[in-house]
């Protein structure tokens, strides 16, 4: 369970995987976009995952309906702003929201730069209104290939001071990290931190590539690390942490039984882990659900969960001054 005496963060949270059902409905009306769904309940059923999907690609398919109504810059701004409000409501003191401009822009061919600017403006406004620290992570959607990722990267780099890190997401098996070395070199040269989705839909080799070829210091999901003792040692000794997302890992099939989730193994092997939601809207969860699962289903102890809460501050991509400010709230 969450201990209110410790800071609560969510470092792996896709804002384009957390679009409110009511917002999808209203934006569809506003832009006269026909939806197959006849009412809100049908929209809930089409957007949220109730139990699990067959694999990662089927999971990602669930995010399509949300971005299908992003027909203007204002729509992107709204989604970003509401994400900050949702994060505040969930009790987070700090969150890193990630987004793929290409994924958000594609249904209505919005200029990528407009999407980036709108998301940044929406997050800044939300952060001011709701009093929560937010940083943004840009995503390259690997499923669209290297060229598309270069365009996506350049749109993100235009706003490099408003973004703290770069991530690679999408079809991990079909588009291995090795194809994106050049992109991530440019990102590191720009001073960004690196986190990469790896070991979610592919094996330990994918995590090796994320670390050694792309320069990741955090790994999204990393489930496959459990099969590679040397890799776990390396991660523990080199401060490479894992962003664990229990529900998402079950729903994508990365982990067939939450009780057997490797988060416990990671901790036992000295790897720093955090608990995160991934796509709260699609998964129909919030951060509290993940702490509850970690306690009641995985069997982590209260002190392990408190340590995880502290890890969220330790491995966050935040400036030392924000870190000090947040830690001041928890004497």
Q: Would you name the residues annotated as active-site residues?
A: 200
- Total interface residues for Zn ion by CB under 5 A: 1
DSSP state of 239: T
Smallest distance, Å, CB 169 to Zn ion? Answer: 6
Q: Which stretch binds Zn ion (CB under 5 A): 53-61, 85-93, 129-137, 278-286?
A: 278-286
Q: How far apart are CA 265 and CA 274, in angstroms?
A: 13
For the chain, the first-to-last Cα distance in angstroms comes to 20
Nearer to Zn ion, 52 or 325 (CB): 52
30, 109, 79, 251 alpha-carbon torsion, rounded to 10°: 110
Nearer to Zn ion, 117 or 247 (CB): 247
Nearest to 280 by CA among 107, 47, 94, 105: 47
Smallest distance, Å, CB 221 to Zn ion? Answer: 7
Nearer to Zn ion, 13 or 117 (CB): 13
* Binding of residue 286 to Zn ion (CB under 5 A): no
Count CB atoms within 10 A of the CB of residue 273: 23
Smallest distance, Å, CB 24 to Zn ion? Answer: 20
Smallest distance, Å, CB 49 to Zn ion? Answer: 14
Decide if 278 contacts 200 (C-beta within 8 A): no
Residue nearest to Zn ion (CB): 278
Q: Which stretch binds Zn ion (CB under 5 A): 52-60, 68-76, 131-139, 277-285?
A: 277-285
Smallest distance, Å, CB 12 to Zn ion? Answer: 6
Integer CA distances (angstroms), 213 to 105, 139, 140, 196, 262, in order: 28, 17, 15, 11, 24
Q: Which stretch binds Zn ion (CB under 5 A): 126-134, 275-283, 296-304, 315-323?
A: 275-283
Beta strands in the chain (DSSP E): 9-14, 94-99, 133-141, 165-169, 193-198, 218-221, 241-244, 273-275
* Binding of residue 278 to Zn ion (CB under 5 A): yes
* Binding of residue 117 to Zn ion (CB under 5 A): no
248 is written with which tokens?
């998402």
Binding mask 289-318 for Zn ion (x = CB under 5 A): ------------------------------
Nearer to Zn ion, 71 or 141 (CB): 141
Q: How far apart are CA 174 and CA 260, in angstroms?
A: 27
Nearest to 163 by CA among 143, 145, 138, 190: 138
- Give the interface with Zn ion as residue ranges (CB under 5 A): 278
């Amino acid at each position: 369970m969450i201990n209110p005496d410790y800071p609560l963060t969510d470092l792996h949270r896709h804002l384009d995987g957390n679009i409110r059902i009511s917002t999808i409905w209203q934006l569809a009306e506003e832009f006269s976009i026909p939806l197959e769904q006849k009412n809100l309940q049908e929209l809930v059923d089409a957007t949220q995952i109730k139990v699990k999907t067959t694999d990662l690609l089927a999971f990602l398919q669930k995010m399509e309906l949300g971005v299908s109504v992003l027909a203007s810059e204002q729509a992107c701004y709204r989604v970003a702003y509401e994400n900050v409000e949702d994060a505040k409501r969930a009790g987070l003191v700090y969150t890193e929201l990630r987004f793929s401009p290409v994924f958000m822009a594609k249904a209505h061919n919005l200029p990528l730069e407009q999407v980036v600017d709108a998301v940044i403006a929406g997050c800044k406004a939300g952060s001011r209104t709701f009093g929560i620290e937010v940083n943004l992570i840009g995503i390259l959607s690997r499923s669209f290939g290297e060229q598309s990722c270069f365009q996506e990267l350049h749109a993100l780099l235009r706003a490099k001071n408003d973004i703290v890190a770069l991530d690679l997401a999408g079809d991990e098996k079909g588009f291995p990290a090795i194809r994106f070395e050049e992109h991530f070199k440019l990102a590191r040269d720009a001073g960004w931190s690196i986190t990469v989705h790896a070991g979610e839909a592919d094996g330990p080799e994918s995590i090796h590539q994320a670390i050694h070829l792309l320069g990741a210091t955090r790994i999204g999901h990393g489930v496959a690390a459990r099969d590679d003792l040397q890799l776990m040692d390396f991660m523990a000794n080199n401060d490479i942490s894992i962003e664990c997302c229990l529900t998402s890992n079950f729903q994508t099939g990365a982990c067939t039984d939450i009780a057997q989730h490797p988060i416990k193994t990671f901790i036992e092997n000295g790897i720093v882990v955090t608990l995160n939601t991934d796509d709260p809207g699609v998964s129909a969860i919030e951060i509290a659900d993940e702490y509850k699962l970690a306690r009641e289903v995985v069997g982590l102890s209260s002190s392990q969960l408190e340590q995880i809460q502290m890890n969220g501050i330790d491995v966050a991509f935040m400036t030392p001054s924000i870190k000090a400010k947040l830690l001041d709230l928890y004497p």
